[in-house]
Amino acid sequence: MKVLVTNDDGIFAQGLWTLVKELTNIAQVVVVAPDREQSAIGTAVTLHQPLRVQKVSPLVPGVETYSVEGTPADCVILALGKLINKIDLVVSGINHGANLGDDVSISGTVGAALQGYLRGLPALAISVALGESLHLDTAAKLTLLLAKKIDRGVLPTNIFLNVNLPNLPLAKIKGAKLTRLASKSHTNTVEEGDDGKRKYYWLVRQKINKAVDEETDIWTIEQDSISITPLHTTLFNKPSPTIPDSLCSSLFQELQQ
């Protein structure tokens, strides 16, 4: 099995190499990752400047490793389109910090996995909630187990999973659950400051402290369990039934008046 590993925390992040080390037990691993941190870059793709790639020394011996001056999504597109022959699985992570609820729409970790999924490959985004020190080993082992199941055909090959673990030693994790994304999970506010010359603004993103229902990823992590959320890209679905059919004809008529 050949696995592409990327992330959005940058090529030297501890989470990425903990994962790579574990996966080398069962797979040939290739790392193609951004040369710097790109958290919250989402699905961004670089189309207006060239991408520079450098082959670099791996932190786990023997692993083919490329550093890219680009986004996590760029890394996957580049890897699958040029750098690597055949890939069986795309894994993005282990992200330092959970990606829950609305986070998924801005997460570079998920954005990278999405590119694998869009190209017909099984794709996993793996994250561990932040804490004083990061418990990455369990996330690495869980990814290995998922990779094995994909390799053996136990799981469908068209999956796109967003996996989050509480930041706990394995003995304190209570279980694992299939979940759905919590909705309206975060607020985005703008704080204003002044550096003496000019005004500046900080975008501040915070998780909303509200009760969430038991099927959601946020609830599951709060219960010290592992959350596995199957993601779907439904942007190309049928038109929304809540918008009347007459909208388009009336808009077009108004345009012509």
List of residues contacting Mn ion (CB under 5 A)? 8-9, 39, 95
Taking the complex as a whole, the smallest distance from the CB of residue 213 to Mn ion amounts, in Å, to 27
Q: Decide whether 90 or 150 has the Cβ nearer to Mn ion.
A: 90
**Beta-ladder partners of 34:** 68
- Cα-flanking dihedrals φ and ψ of residue 109, to 5°? -60, -50
Handedness of CA 8, 160, 45, 91 (dihedral sign): positive
Considering beta carbons, is residue 42 or 122 the nearer one to Mn ion?
A: 42
Q: Which is nearer to Mn ion, 16 or 182 (CB)?
A: 16
Q: Which residue is nearest to Mn ion (CB)?
A: 39
Please state the closest distance from residue 95 (CB atom) to Mn ion, in A.
5
Q: Which residue in this structure is represented by tokens 């204003």?
A: 192
Output the smallest distance, CB 72 to Mn ion, in A.
9
Distances (CA, A) of 50 to 9, 65, 155: 21, 19, 37
At closest approach, how far in Å is the CB of 96 from Mn ion?
A: 6
CA 191 – CA 210 distance, rounded (Å): 22
**Is the CB of residue 17 less than 8 Å from the CB of residue 65?**
no
Please say which residue, 11 or 150, places its beta carbon nearer to Mn ion. Answer: 11
Q: Which residues contact 248 (CB under 8 A, 6 or more apart)?
A: none
* Closer residue to Mn ion (CB): 31 or 150: 31
Beta bridge partners of 89: 3
